[in-house]
Amino acid sequence: MRGYLPIAHGDLTTFLFSQSFVADSVFAPTQAFVQANLDCDEEEIEFLLSLLAGIQGLELRTKQSSPGIVLALELESGQCGDSGENSITLTSPLLWSQVQCALLSKTDDDELIWYATQEISREIDNWK
């Protein structure tokens, strides 16, 4: 299952360095979210969830000029706990190997900028 983790820049740096990160929950295609968006296909569901995570990512910025940061992750079924409206709780730490890409959000923009996993360490200082 794909999950979207809004993350502060400092936490991203820690995650990249330690290769592990404890998060309470991630945005994910829960049964309730899918049912509320029956007119959307899987790709549209993923897009909506990434936008929600992007909005929360903007709230985690330290400067207004910084982007909101979201990590798209491939979750293991054993990590998934209770599900809410649009998120699931996590029962174990996330591993860097689960990161599929980084998405950056900017204020008043419905598009997220995509970065491959191998680009994150090179670009991370530009996201402060």
Summarize pLDDT for 38-65 with one digit per residue, the tens: 999 999 999 999 999 999 999 999 899 9
The secondary structure of residue 13, as a DSSP letter, is H
**C-alpha closest to that of 102 among 29, 9, 20, 1:** 9
pLDDT band at residue 108 using 50, 70 and 90 as cut-offs: confident
pLDDT at 110: 82
What is the value of pTM for the model shown? 0.96
Number of domains composing the chain: 1
| CATH number, residue 17 | 3.20.170
Q: Please say if the pLDDT value at position 107 is more than 90.
A: no
Read off the tokens for 51: 């936008």
Residue 111 belongs to domain spanning? 2-127
Segment 58-103, tens digit of pLDDT: 999 989 999 999 999 999 999 999 999 999 999 999 999 999 999 9
- SS3 (DSSP) at 122: helix
Question: Using 50, 70 and 90 to split pLDDT, how confident is the model at 13?
Answer: very high
In this structure, the number of other CB atoms found within 10 A of the CB of residue 32 comes to 13
**Rounded to an integer, what distance in angstroms lies between the CA atom of residue 95 and that of residue 66?**
25
